[in-house]
Amino acid sequence: MSKAMKYIKQHKIVFALILLIPIIIFTGQYYLNKSSVEISSSQQIQTEVKKGNISSTVSASGQIETANYLAITTSVNGIVKKVYVKEGDIVKKGQKIIEVTLDSEGEISLANAYASYLRAKNALDSAKNSLIPLESAVIQKEEAFDTEKEENSYQSHDERISYKLAENDYFTAKNNYESKKNELTQLQISANSAWNEYQSQSPVITASYDGYIANIVAVEGTRIENSVSERSVQTVASIKIEGTPIAVLNITELDINNIKVGQKAKILLNSVRDETFTGTVVGIDKIGSLTGGVSNYPVIIKFDQNTDKALPNMGVEADIILESKEGILYVPTAAVKSTKNGKAVTVVANGQQINTAVKTGISDSSNTEILEGLNEGDVVLMETLPTSGFSTNSQVQFRGVGGVVPFGGR
């Protein structure tokens, strides 16, 4: 046996691999080309230019700030004696809600509050009585001053002195009257505050507004306890009053300048995904806040309709409509390409693909308005992601003698 044959026999595995490499490369290239065709065909589909409606929106999330629920609170100490209403009852302002049997501490607080109210009321009544003669004095001094102005010739020294005295008397009386009126206003505020404090210590808790009972917390026989020194209060019920919910959305600095008062919004409650509500932008906080390097600006949305499903602090998602157009031409946004000369689409006509320049308008999440360049019914190509075959960015590699041979994807 020759040395050459002996060498080949000893290294037959190596020689077999060398002979197989071209076959592997050829086979891989064949499947690569085949898969590329499959990927290319799966990425482009034909669609028509249509006419319809488009709304350009800004999406944001936030929470229900208020749903017109008002707490009924008390600062008394004692045992719940009677609950006069139940959930869902319609109530009027001043109507009894709960009655409490006060303990000794509650009785003392009630007596002290009433005594404070009486002192404030007496001071107010006294000020009202003292205002009457001051008002009369102003009228008298004004009449005397007017007479002096009409009859005084201001020629003599005595006449000028007489005029000055009448003028001073009038303005002094007027200043005294105005000062007492201001004092009266402050006393009225003090009396109102004292009355509210007395009411808060009352064993009978009433509705502060017209509405209906949303929930009752107090139960007959249970104890209500508050700290007198810390002036704490407890919520015993809540009333739902007329009005629509308010939501606050956080808008980023990229979108805030596009938001205007009066814009409409579509709202979804996180807890009610099968119902869409509408609302209106009623307020924009242009100060905003910086959190984690991101600037957010609160935008207030008022619901257009009332709903019992919106509760305080519920999460919401909303699309604020910046602009809306009806009866316009549009194509899927995926059909529009950016070029150095502007926007373009690929039109399919007579079996040929024609790159056509277009002028675009507003866009929503999936479609773009066409202002110029296309007609309704034109067929265009739209880029889509492949649904099967190799991933466009995957790559398999075969390492051969000369290095790495790309095949398909990674």
pLDDT at 165 over 60: yes
pLDDT at 224 over 80: yes
Architecture of the domain whose range is 59-67+241-325? Beta Barrel (2.40)
0.75 exceeded by the pTM? no
Q: pLDDT digits over 146-155, tens only?
A: 887 777 666 6
Q: pLDDT at position 188, please?
A: 92
Higher pLDDT, 234 or 393: 234
Q: pLDDT digits over 244-266, tens only?
A: 899 999 999 999 999 999 999 99
Kindly indicate whether the domain formed by 74-240 is annotated with CATH number 1.10.150. no
Task: Please identify which residue in the block is written with the tokens 């980023």.
Answer: 252
Say which amino acid occupies 178: E
- Cβ distance 355 to 343 under 8 Å? no
- Cβ distance 84 to 98 under 8 Å? yes
CA distances from 314 to 1, 271, 362 (A): 91, 8, 32
Task: Please identify which residue in the block is written with the tokens 């944001």.
Answer: 60
Higher pLDDT, 297 or 5: 297
Structural tokens at position 108:
């003392």
**Domain extents for the chain?**
3-43+390-407, 59-67+241-325, 74-240
Contacts of 286 (CB under 8 A, 6+ apart): 256, 297
Indicate the SS3 state at residue 377.
Answer: coil
- Cβ distance 300 to 284 under 8 Å? yes
Q: pLDDT at position 374, please?
A: 92
User: What is the Cα–Cα distance from 216 to 201, expressed in whole angstroms?
Assistant: 19
Q: pLDDT digits over 96-142, tens only?
A: 999 999 998 888 888 998 999 999 999 999 989 988 888 888 888 88
Indicate the SS3 state at residue 119.
Answer: helix
> Residue 320: beta bridge partners?
58, 265
CA distances from 266 to 52, 282, 323 (A): 19, 14, 13
User: What is the Cα–Cα distance from 236 to 85, expressed in whole angstroms?
Assistant: 12
